[in-house]
Amino acid sequence: MKHKKYWTLLAAAFVIVFVFNIQNGEKANSIEEQVSPFPSPSPEVPNRKQQYFQDHSHKRPFKMEIKPKPYPDPQQGLFDTGQDSTQLHQKPVSSLLEQMSLQEKIGQMVMAGVAGLKMEEQEKRLIEDYHIGGFIFYAKNLETPDQISGLLNKLKAENRQNKLPLLLSVDQEGGRISRLPGNISKLPTNALIGKWNEPDFSFQVGQLLGTGLTTFGFNMNFAPVLDVNSNPDNPVIGDRSFGSNPEIVSELGIQTMKGIQSKQVIPVIKHFPGHGDTSVDSHYQLPVVDKSLSQLEKIELIPFRKAMEQGAEAIMIAHILLPNLDETHPASLSKEIISNLLRKRLNFEGVVMTDDMTMAAITDNYDIGRAAVDSVLAGSDIILVAHDYQKITHVIKEISKAVEKGVLSEGRINESVERIIRMKQQYQLEDKHVKNAGITELNQSVDNLLKKWNKEGVR
C-alpha cells in the first residue's frame, strides 16, 4: 500500500513539473520574439522610383515621396556595402545630419578627382579618412567597360563604412565631350541638335546619356550645357552649346535634362550664369564678361531660369568674372552671384557646385584652399577639386580650419549638407554593385535613334 501511494505521488509531481516547463517555455519563446535582434522581414513594398521618373519625364519634377524598399537581393544589391539604404531614404534629413561628425559633413561638400585607372591608396584615404562625398572621372580614368565597372564597384565597396553613398560623376555631354570609352557609339554635338531643333530628339538623347551612365554605375552627369553661344570667338563652349538662340537652348537643354532624369541620373546644368560670351578659356585664364544684370537676363540667364522652373536639382557655377555684378570675385566665389542672384532672385533651392577649382582661372589668382572657403561663404554646396590629391586634402583642411576659427559656422555647413542629403534621397542613391557593362545593346539604341530621325528627315 505504501509503495502504491509513493508511485502515485511521484507521478503527480512529474505531471506538475512537465506542465510548468511547457508554460515557461511558451513564455520564453514569446519574450524571445519580442527582443530578437533579427526582425521579421517587412512585406515587400514596390520600388516607386522608376515609376516616378517615367510618369514625370515631361513634367516638372516634384519633391519625391520616399517609399520603403524591399530587402536587397544579395546577388543584385548591397552585398558589398555596410550602409543601411533604408536609413538614408526614410530618415528625416535632420536626423541623419545629427548623426554626422563635422568632418563627415565637410567631406560631403567636396568632390574629388581619381588619379588613374584603378583605386589607389589616395582614393582609399579620401574615403576612409576624409569621408569624401563623391568622385569625378575623366577619359584618363575610363579605358574599357570592365575596367570602369570594376573601378566604380571598388570605390563603392570601400565606402561601405560611411553613412552616405558616393556621387559618381562624369562629363558625358554627347558630341566631343564624351568621357566613356571610344568603342561606344557617339551622339551628335549639341550644336547639331540645336540646328535640328527637335525637342523629342533631345529628350531621347538625354535618355541615352542616362542609360549609358547607369550601365557603368555612374549616378551624376555634368550636363546639359545651358550656355548660349553668343560669342563666335568663344574657345571653350562652341559646339557644346545648343546655339545662339536662348529659347532654343532652353527648350532643348530642358528636354535633355529630363531625359537624363528619367534614367535616375542627376543632371547638373552648367555653367551659371553663362559661359557663352567669353573670349578666353577658364581652364587657362580668368574670363571677364562685361555685362550688366539686365543684359544677362535677356540672354544668358534665360535657359537657367527655365530649367530651374522645370525641376533642375543641381547647377555648376563658372569661373568667370562679371565686374558689373562683383568687381572682386569670380562667379564661383561671389556671394552676390550665388546667394543674391541665384538663391534669392532666381529662387534656386537645389545643390550649387563649383566648376573644377584646379583650373588656372582659380589657381593662378587664389590659394585654392582659401578660394574654397570663399566659395562656401558665397553659397556653394560642393567644391569640385578634379586633380591632385594634395589640393583635394588642402581644400578639406582649409574648410575645417575655417569652421574651427569661426570664419564658417557649422550651421552654414549644415545648410549645404542638408541639400546634398535631400538630393541623394530624392534619387535614392546606393553604393550598389553593378555587373560588368555590356555596350552592344547601348550602341544599338544609339544607332537606332539616329536611323529613326534620319528617316524622318532630320539632318
The residues annotated with a catalytic role in the active site are: 283, 355
203 contacts 256 by C-beta, under 8 angstroms = yes
| Residue 352 to residue 314: CA distance in whole angstroms | 6
| Residue 153 to residue 118: CA distance in whole angstroms | 11
Contacts of 111 (CB under 8 A, 6+ apart): 132, 133, 134, 135, 136, 167, 169, 353, 382, 383, 384, 385, 386
Concatenated DSSP letters of 15-52? HHHHHHHHHHHHHHHHHHHHH-SSPPPPPP----HHHH
Number of H-type helices and E-type strands within the chain: 18, 10
Grid cell 511558451 is found at 26
| Residue 158 to residue 76: CA distance in whole angstroms | 18
**What strand order describes the sheet that includes 266-272?**
351-354, 314-317, 266-272, 220-221, 167-170, 134-137, 110-113, 383-385
237 contacts 225 by C-beta, under 8 angstroms = yes
Within 13 Å, how many C-alpha atoms sit on residue 62's CB side?
A: 5
> b/e map of 97-109 (b: 16 or more CB within 10 Å)?
beebeeebbbbbb
Instruction: Specify the 3-state DSSP secondary structure of 437.
Output: coil
The rounded Cα 28 to chain-centroid distance in angstroms is 49
Concatenated DSSP letters of 130-147? T---EEEE-GGG--SHHH
Per-residue CA distances from 404 to 126, 399, 417 (Å): 21, 9, 18
